[in-house]
């Protein structure tokens, strides 16, 4: 997994996943209504249609979505311009480029599990399954997440300095990422 | 500064040094001293042994590759704000 472009992609997935989870978990139980697709203005309905297409409908994904629009998008849709930009960033981050969509969903699932996001964990688990990841694959990500949640706390408790930070060779490919869409 | 004094590999018994060799193979890198975490885990083989086996089992190629899993591990470590 060399090449800085892959790490930029991973970082953007981690960041925007956390952003969606913060809104979903923080506001999901608050008295703030989601914008209903039927009542939404045309510009929002267009974005909602793209969101539905990107995440798929039917099966376990639809169960988690609690409808068809993932909660964080329904919540921020009160400001259509803001929704448009957030969605564009999410769509870009999760689109298949150097990293596969499946791998990105695995990253998002692991991050959601680590941050105890009820919304994110269920949502990305459903997405993993929708993308064809079996129970074995899910368990692999659970195992990695669990074991490195142990290693990190042991390292922090003992205040260990990294002895692997210099192993990776410098990436000479240059930035920004010239990778294909 | 670590909370504990990390022992050099030479201070560990032969059984632990064999584990350090496995660690070198796992990382495919010639450390001057075994990684700090390997030396920590070798302090109690009854904890470090099963913990290490569980890690290797989780990290082995399956539906996801070792490289994909290393990136997941890095993301988890980052979210846990762990610089190690």
Per-residue pLDDT of chain A (181 residues; tens, 9 = 90+): 557 899 999 999 999 999 999 999 998 887 888 898 888 999 999 999 999 989 986 444 444 444 578 999 999 999 999 999 999 999 999 999 999 999 999 999 999 999 999 999 999 999 999 999 999 999 999 999 999 999 999 999 999 988 876 666 666 665 555 454 4
Residue of A174, A176, A175, A151 whose CA lies nearest to A164: A151
Residue of B2, B55, B78 with shortest CB distance to A160: B2
Domains and CATH numbers, chain A: 4-157 (1.20.1290.10)
Q: Go through B24-51 and write b for each residue having 16 or more CB atoms within 10 A of its CB, e for each that does not.
A: eeeeeeebeebbbbbbbbbeeeeebeeb
Measuring CA to CA, which residue among A162, A102, A165 is closest to residue A137? A102
- In tens, the pLDDT along B14-58 reads 988 888 888 888 888 888 889 999 999 999 999 999 999 999 999
List C-alpha distances in Å: A104 to A21, A50, A51, B16, B58.
Answer: 15, 19, 17, 37, 18
The tokens for B28 are 């495919």
Spatial separation of the C-alpha atoms in residues A106 and B80, rounded to whole Å:
17
Letter string b/e over residues A122-139, b meaning 16 or more CB atoms within 10 A of that residue's CB: bbbbbbbbbbebeeebbe
Per the listing, tokens 């040094």 go with B17
What is the predicted ipTM? 0.88
For residue A158, give the nearest of B27, B40, B78 by CB distance: B40
Distance from CA of B11 to the nearest CA of A (A): 19
The answer to whether the Cβ–Cβ distance between B84 and A140 falls below 8 Å is no
Q: Which chain A residue shows the shortest CA-CA distance from B35?
A: A163
pTM: 0.87
Q: Residue B62 has what pLDDT?
A: 97
């Amino acid at each position: 997994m060399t090449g800085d472009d892959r790490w930029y992609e991973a970082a953007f997935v981690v960041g925007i996943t956390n952003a969606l989870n913060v809104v979903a978990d923080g506001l999901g139980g608050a008295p703030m209504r989601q914008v209903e697709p039927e009542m939404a203005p045309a510009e929002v309905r267009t974005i909602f249609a793209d969101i539905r297409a990107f995440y798929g409908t039917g099966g376990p994904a639809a169960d988690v979505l609690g409808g068809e629009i993932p909660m964080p998008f329904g919540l921020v849709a009160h400001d259509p311009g803001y929704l448009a930009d957030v969605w564009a960033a999410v769509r870009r981050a999760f689109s298949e480029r150097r990293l596969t969509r499946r791998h990105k969903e695995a990253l998002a699932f692991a991050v959601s599990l680590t941050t105890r996001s009820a919304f994110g964990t269920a949502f990305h688990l459903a997405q993993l399954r929708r993308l064809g990841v079996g129970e074995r694959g899910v368990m692999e990500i659970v195992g990695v997440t669990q074991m490195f949640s142990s290693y990190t706390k042991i390292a922090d408790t003992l205040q260990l300095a990294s002895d692997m930070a210099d192993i990776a060779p410098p990436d000479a490919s240059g930035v920004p990422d010239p990778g294909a869409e | 500064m670590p909370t504990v004094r990390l022992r050099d590999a030479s201070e560990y018994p032969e059984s632990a040094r064999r584990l350090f060799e496995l660690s070198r193979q796992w990382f495919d890198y010639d450390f001057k001293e075994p990684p700090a975490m390997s030396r920590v885990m070798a302090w109690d083989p009854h904890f470090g042994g099963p913990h290490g086996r569980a890690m290797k089992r989780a990290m082995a190629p399956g539906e996801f590759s070792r490289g994909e899993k290393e990136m997941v591990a890095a993301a988890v470590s980052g979210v846990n704000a762990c610089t190690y």
